[in-house]
């Protein structure tokens, strides 16, 4: 009897933990299932610029090939290759000895012609006095001949002598004029030589950056034949690019209202800001594009002549647009849609995409954003990665759920502000 009681007590003790374990297992089986892991972001409202993207080529506003205007030997190179030079700065010196000797010879010729002019003037003054006396003698002879005092032969001699002196005086005046002309020619040659002496100092016609010196000291050059150095103006600078002909009408309309903003820069660097200055007068039939030019201050020298840069022509800025990462937009049989998360449940929502926009950034991994017209509201949480495992009504487990309405994942929208 006592043994039966002991056995019953042991069975009761063993059954108590088994019952507890059964209740624990039953409670675990009733917990909600684990959701599908996804990356999420929130739809936000912000200003989004409407831009045309293109590849442009940087070119100098002014480019000058400096050439010699006189022949001679290079005496000095007065600048450093690659140096920024100012307008009027000395670049080269050409030997002046030949020109100096030529100028001295021309000065001697001028002095000679001045002396000849003075001599011709003195002779003319003498012949003028002689002509006056001869004219008086001829007048007297004519009167005496009329009275019969002098013979006709004597009268003719007096008149002939007067005509001779008058002709000599005319010749003297011509000699004076010739001497004056020679003096003017001498002075013109001297002025030309002096100008060439000035050209012996080659100065920069514009401010800019000097390229490589094409000649060295001691080289002999010919007039207007050899390019000594090329100067390029770097600030301001110009970028040439093309846009599709379909956008021409809108660009013309907006540019008539005011200068359009243009951004340009290398793919791995910041974008400089400039203004649209030129629209070509014809569309290239081979490419269907039209050429545009924008001018940039380029005070930091970021844009360099000859390089290819990314260009953004900003047409306008759309205010308070709803944007989401482009990776959140899916394509279905009935159009575009996105997965919206509410209370950890995924719902398929049709959306209308107006356009896409890639924010300007130096990062090559910057993602596009989609500008929505309808379907979502600001603050809606949407799936950006992991959509393939979702079905309508599926429970999800956000991996990186935003902590606030404006927080975004993967840096997708943090760079989207214009």
Give the tens place of pLDDT for each residue, 331-350.
Answer: 998 899 999 999 999 999 99
The percentage of the chain sitting over the pLDDT mark of 70, rounded to a whole number, equals 83
> What is the average pLDDT across 134-156?
71
One domain for residues 169 and 257: no
249: CATH: 2.40.30.170
Residue 85 CB-half CA count within 13 A: 27
User: What are the C-alpha distances in Å from 227 to residues 55, 207, 230, 355, 382?
Assistant: 32, 17, 7, 52, 64
What was the pLDDT predicted at 127? 75
One domain for residues 156 and 77: no
Whether 14 is covered by a domain: the verdict is no
One domain for residues 180 and 142: yes
Whether 150 is covered by a domain: the verdict is yes
CB neighbourhood size of 297 (10 A): 13
Task: State the average pLDDT for the chain.
Answer: 84
One domain for residues 304 and 365: no
Query: Which structural domain range is residue 73 located in?
Result: 64-94+201-230
378: CATH: 2.40.420.20
Are 207 and 265 contacting, i.e. CB atoms less than 8 angstroms apart?
no
- In three-state secondary structure terms, 160 is helix
One domain for residues 142 and 285: no
- Tokens found for residue 150: 């002098």
> What is the average pLDDT across 268-279?
90
Tell how strand 396-398 and strand 36-42 pair up: parallel
* Count of domains forming the chain: 4
Peptide bond into 236 cis (omega under 30): yes
One domain for residues 42 and 80: no
Beta bridge partners of 239: 58, 294
- Most confident listed range (66-80, 149-163, 401-415): 66-80
Whether 174 is covered by a domain: the verdict is yes
Q: Which of 368, 355, 264, 361 minimizes the C-alpha distance to 313?
A: 264
Residue 168 CB-half CA count within 13 A: 18
């Amino acid at each position: 009897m006592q043994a039966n009681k002991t056995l019953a007590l042991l069975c009761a003790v063993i059954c108590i933990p088994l019952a507890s374990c059964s209740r624990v297992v039953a409670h675990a089986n009733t917990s909600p299932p684990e959701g599908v892991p996804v990356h999420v972001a929130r739809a936000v409202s912000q200003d989004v610029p409407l831009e045309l993207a293109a590849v442009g080529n940087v070119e100098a506003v002014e480019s000058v090939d400096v050439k010699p205007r006189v022949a001679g030997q290079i005496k000095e190179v007065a600048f450093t290759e690659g140096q920024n030079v100012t307008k009027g700065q000395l670049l080269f010196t050409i030997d002046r000895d030949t020109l100096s000797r030529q100028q001295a010879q021309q000065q001697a010729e001028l002095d000679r012609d001045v002396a000849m002019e003075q001599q011709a003037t003195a002779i003319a003054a003498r012949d003028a006095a002689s002509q006056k006396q001869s004219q008086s003698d001829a007048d007297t002879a004519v009167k005496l001949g009329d009275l019969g005092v002098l013979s006709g032969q004597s009268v003719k001699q007096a008149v002939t002598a007067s005509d001779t002196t008058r002709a000599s005086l005319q010749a003297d005046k011509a000699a004076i004029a010739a001497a004056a002309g020679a003096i003017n020619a001498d002075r013109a040659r001297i002025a030309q030589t002096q100008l060439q002496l000035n050209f012996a100092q080659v100065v920069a016609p514009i401010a800019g950056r000097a390229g490589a010196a094409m000649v060295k000291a001691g080289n002999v050059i010919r007039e207007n034949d050899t390019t000594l150095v090329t100067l390029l103006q770097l600030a301001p600078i110009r970028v040439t690019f093309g846009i599709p002909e379909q956008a021409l009408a809108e660009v013309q309309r907006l540019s008539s209202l005011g200068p359009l903003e243009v951004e340009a820069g290398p793919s791995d660097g910041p974008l400089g800001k400039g203004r649209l200055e030129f629209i070509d007068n014809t569309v290239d039939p081979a490419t269907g594009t039209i050429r545009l030019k924008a001018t940039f201050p380029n005070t930091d020298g970021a844009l360099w002549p000859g390089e290819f840069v990314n260009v953004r022509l900003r047409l306008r800025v759309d205010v308070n647009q709803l944007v989401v990462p482009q990776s959140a937009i899916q394509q279905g049989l009935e159009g575009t849609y996105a997965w919206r998360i509410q209370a950890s449940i995924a719902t398929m929502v049709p959306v209308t995409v107006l356009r896409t926009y890639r924010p300007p950034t130096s990062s090559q991994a910057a993602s596009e954003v989609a500008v929505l017209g309808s379907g979502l509201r600001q603050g809606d949480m949407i799936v950006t990665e992991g959509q393939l495992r979702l079905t309508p009504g599926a429970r999800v487990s956000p991996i990186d759920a935003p902590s606030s309405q404006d927080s975004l994942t993967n840096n997708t929208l943090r760079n989207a502000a214009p």
